[in-house]
A and B are shown apart, each in its own frame.
Chain A
């Protein structure tokens, strides 16, 4: 079972339904004990970094995400869920994420509409055999909604980029952890294909 961590923010239903659509046994889970028993975890997130960090902590699901990543269970983090893997964001000074990946979340540089709210081409980064292949091997278009983006402390974590005024982090990967700044559950066929690959990596 894939647990889509439900800590009470925004639209979580689309992630659950999109995974079910591609045949995965996915469900929204708000109870940490139930989430601990899942084979794989999806950490979604919409809204502000600080509000999500706080809600995740209050739900007790932050520890579930930590354990899943530490135990190398397949984990997919999406949008603010991806940003929460880092420690800090310029969006919410003083608030702390999970601090699992090194780096900081910074405002998208000026000169473009912010937030980026559009489809964009995600180009996979060559990862020398360390890639899960979840992103696919050719560039695909995915839907983004974000005003802030990850500046990585460890370039080896980078899995994909997009161009939006500057080169932005679109996807990161480390071991069994994969994370996207874009929303695969809102990216039509390309997004469903990515989720199907994730479901397969979870063993169904």
Chain B
């Protein structure tokens, strides 16, 4: 049967979990391993760790975090951020990550997706995409961007790429991405809900699993990600980190709304 995954996301900077409002104004929500174990015990289906550290020695810290998490957290772990080569991916997988996600580096060098998929399998290879609605970009004529009205952006949403988001993810799946992690940069940090139109477009265009990200502020937003967006994984950060809702509350709410979820008994 189908079971939609509830996925807390940990943004990690130099070994600490942070969550910003639209990637600015970061707040500290604690030790990532502590938080990972807490979510695992609480019944999260999967975890995503995004390394947002700028410096390379910070990245060593992240490998240490993954390594420590692997000793006590026994649910799937996806790690992303700063992966630019097969070797970067290998080090994270050897440390205990199950999947690696690539984002900016895949835009700069699209063959990276194929290289990782060939070496470790498509099931290890997550293509993360940050997307903005082009109609909402001030000062840009709509005809400058293609088809869907959604554009791939990088560098925390500041850098437009000219790539059509739907075409990009379809190509990514052809190159070997076994899963997509799609973040709406218009919604990220706003708590206004996922961009459901974007999710529905992508869900219809590919047949690999789709993780929705960016904008969750309520439990209804999670439900809509599946019911209207067609997502298979529902990612959220701040609503969980700051204790507004528990994983159990999310699960109960989703079940009540008719979203298929894994039953978890305490």
Inter-chain contact A115/B120, CB cutoff 8 Å: no
B93 in the interface, Cβ–Cβ < 8 Å? yes
Inter-chain contact B263/A141, CB cutoff 8 Å: yes
How close is A59's CB to chain B, nearest CB, in angstroms?
A: 15
How close is A196's CB to chain B, nearest CB, in angstroms?
A: 12
Inter-chain contact B70/A117, CB cutoff 8 Å: no
Inter-chain contact A21/B72, CB cutoff 8 Å: yes
Q: Mask for A1-19, Cβ within 8 A of B = 1, else 0?
A: 0000000011111100110
Q: Mask for B159-180, Cβ within 8 A of A = 1, else 0?
A: 0000000000000000000110
Q: Mask for A106-121, Cβ within 8 A of B = 1, else 0?
A: 0000101111011111
How close is B125's CB to chain A, nearest CB, in angstroms?
A: 10
Stretch at the interface among A45-53, A151-159, A170-178: A45-53
Instruction: List residues 66-115 of chain A with CB under 8 A from any CB of chain B.
Output: 110, 112-115
**Within the complex, which residue of A14, A164, A191 is in contact with B70, where a contact is CB–CB below 8 Å?**
A14
Inter-chain contact B1/A46, CB cutoff 8 Å: no
A14: chain B residues at CB < 8 Å are 70, 74, 96, 98
CB within 8 Å for A17 and B96 given contacts A48-B121, A51-B121, A117-B209 = yes
A146: chain B residues at CB < 8 Å are 123
How close is B95's CB to chain A, nearest CB, in angstroms?
A: 7
Q: What residue in chain A is nearest B72 (Cβ atoms)? A: A21
**Within the complex, which residue of B43, B123, B262 is in contact with A46, where a contact is CB–CB below 8 Å?**
B123
B118: chain A residues at CB < 8 Å are 51
> A141 CA to B208 CA in the complex, in Å?
21
Inter-chain contact A147/B262, CB cutoff 8 Å: no
**Within the complex, which residue of A48, A121, A188, A192 is in contact with B1, where a contact is CB–CB below 8 Å?**
A121
Inter-chain contact B93/A113, CB cutoff 8 Å: no
10 additional A-B residue pairs with CB within 8 Å, beyond A119-B5, A188-B40, A188-B75: A11-B96, A17-B70, A18-B74, A113-B209, A115-B123, A117-B178, A118-B45, A120-B1, A143-B45, A186-B98
Seen from chain A, the residues whose Cβ lies within 8 Å of a Cβ on chain B are 9-14, 17-18, 21, 46-48, 51, 110, 112-115, 117-121, 141, 143, 145-147, 162-164, 183, 185-188, 191-192
User: Can you list 7 contacts pairing A with B, beta carbon distance less than 8 Å?
Assistant: A13-B67, A46-B121, A48-B122, A117-B123, A120-B1, A120-B3, A164-B2
